[in-house]
């Protein structure tokens, strides 16, 4: 059996590779992410070392989910998610510029007999994006929202070939077990309507699909830029899905309620600048009007998932309830 080091050398053309420390295990034990150094020599014998990150994915068998969601449906969703991530890095990531930075794609390999993939990416730590944050300040939040705005503008109207037809890891069609576990009530009854409103939006882009603070890499030297990682659930969708989910990942219910309008205003300011530069044919006034209306729908959609997946989750709070109820009231009036 070919070793991981041998595989990395084969797909990158390196003379040798030194595997370094493990950065983290993948969700549910589907592999690891670790540092590595590629070593090559030129015709004059000069040695060159390139720091990289190796994502080694093993999907040979289903794993037990930490929260107990370990069905075949869950396993197949994971398998698909890694196929999507490989496709994103291979086929889409080079469209991202310095305003929506992602790791440079170096090489990838599929292991059909062993069940999995090896993906080799540039090491963001070596490029100065070596900070991961669990607590963020206003500047950090705005920097991440600016990244989202530029990402959404870059892929405005994208057909998402090879990616998820509908992005985000909580998309209704991919979560039948969690829907079945939801308590009976208006939110469960309205799940399809909420999904249809979002999926039927006139303006569609690529959404990151898991745009939480933990998936952004910060730099102390350049606080106005971040890089994002983990593109397993990237796909077509309304950009408000990323914005609502990001805000839910870093603000308390009180802060989210208090800052909602200011954060949305900032995001749309950045989106207008980015759309003007990267998608000038888009009518921004229409885009902003539609997406502002869909912000509460994006929040309610995520709450629908949480209420089945983890009904006691801290994000199911008074602010979430208020937004979700406003959506349910709107649907009832129609």
- pLDDT at site 69: 52
More confident residue, 248 or 72: 248
Strands 31-41 and 47-58: antiparallel
1 pLDDT above the threshold of 70: no
Between CA 210 and CA 232 the distance in angstroms is 8
Q: Which helix (H) or strand (E) holds 235?
A: strand 235-237
User: Shortest CA distance to 36 belongs to which of 69, 66, 58, 3?
Assistant: 3
For 292-332, write each residue's pLDDT tens digit.
999 999 999 999 999 999 999 999 999 999 999 999 999 99
- pLDDT at site 26: 81
Domains and CATH numbers, the chain: 1-122 (3.30.200.20), 128-334 (3.90.1200)
For 80-130, write each residue's pLDDT tens digit.
999 999 999 999 999 999 999 999 999 999 876 557 889 999 999 999 999
User: Shortest CA distance to 178 belongs to which of 302, 59, 331, 321?
Assistant: 302
62 pLDDT above the threshold of 70: no
Mapped onto helix, strand or coil, the DSSP state of residue 77 is helix
Q: Which helix (H) or strand (E) holds 263?
A: helix 253-278
Please state, in angstroms and as integers, the Cα–Cα distance from residue 282 to each residue in 92, 227, 265, 292, 311, following that order. Answer: 20, 26, 19, 16, 39
How high is the mean pLDDT of the chain? 93
For 9-29, write each residue's pLDDT tens digit.
999 999 999 999 988 888 767
- pLDDT at site 279: 94
For 21-59, write each residue's pLDDT tens digit.
988 888 767 888 999 999 988 777 778 899 999 999 887
Q: Mean pLDDT over residues 129-157, rounded?
A: 96
68 pLDDT above the threshold of 60: no
- pLDDT at site 163: 98
């Amino acid at each position: 059996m070919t070793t991981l080091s041998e595989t990395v050398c084969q797909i990158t053309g390196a003379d040798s590779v030194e595997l370094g420390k493990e950065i983290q295990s993948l969700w549910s034990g589907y592999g690891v992410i670790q540092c590595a150094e590629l070593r090559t020599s030129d015709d004059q014998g000069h040695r060159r070392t390139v720091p990289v990150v190796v994502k080694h994915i093993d999907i040979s068998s289903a794993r037990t989910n930490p929260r107990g969601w370990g069905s075949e449906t869950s396993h197949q969703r994971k398998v698909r998610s890694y196929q999507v991530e490989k496709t994103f890095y291979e086929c889409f990531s080079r469209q991202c510029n310095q305003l929506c930075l992602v790791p440079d794609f170096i090489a990838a390999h599929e292991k059909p007999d062993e069940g999995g993939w090896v993906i080799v990416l540039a090491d963001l730590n070596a490029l100065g994006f070596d900070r991961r944050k669990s607590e963020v300040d206003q500047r950090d939040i705005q920097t991440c929202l600016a990244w989202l705005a530029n990402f959404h503008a870059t892929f405005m109207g994208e057909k998402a070939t090879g990616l998820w037809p509908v992005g985000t890891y909580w998309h209704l069609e991919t979560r039948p077990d969690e829907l079945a576990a939801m308590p009976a009530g208006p939110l469960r009854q309205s799940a399809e309507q909420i999904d249809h409103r979002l999926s039927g939006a006139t303006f569609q882009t690529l959404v990151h699909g898991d745009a939480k603070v933990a998936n952004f890499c910060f730099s102390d030297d350049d606080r106005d830029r971040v890089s994002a990682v983990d593109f397993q659930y990237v796909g077509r969708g309304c950009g408000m899905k990323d914005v609502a989910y990001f805000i839910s990942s870093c603000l308390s219910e009180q802060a989210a309620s208090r800052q909602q309008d200011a954060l949305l205003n900032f995001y749309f300011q950045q989106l207008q600048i980015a759309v003007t530069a990267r998608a000038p044919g888009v009518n921004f006034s229409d885009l902003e009007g539609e997406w502002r209306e869909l912000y509460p729908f994006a929040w309610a959609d995520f709450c629908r998932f949480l209420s089945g997946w983890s009904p006691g989750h801290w994000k199911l709070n008074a602010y979430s309830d208020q937004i979700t109820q406003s959506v349910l009231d709107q649907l009832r009036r129609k």
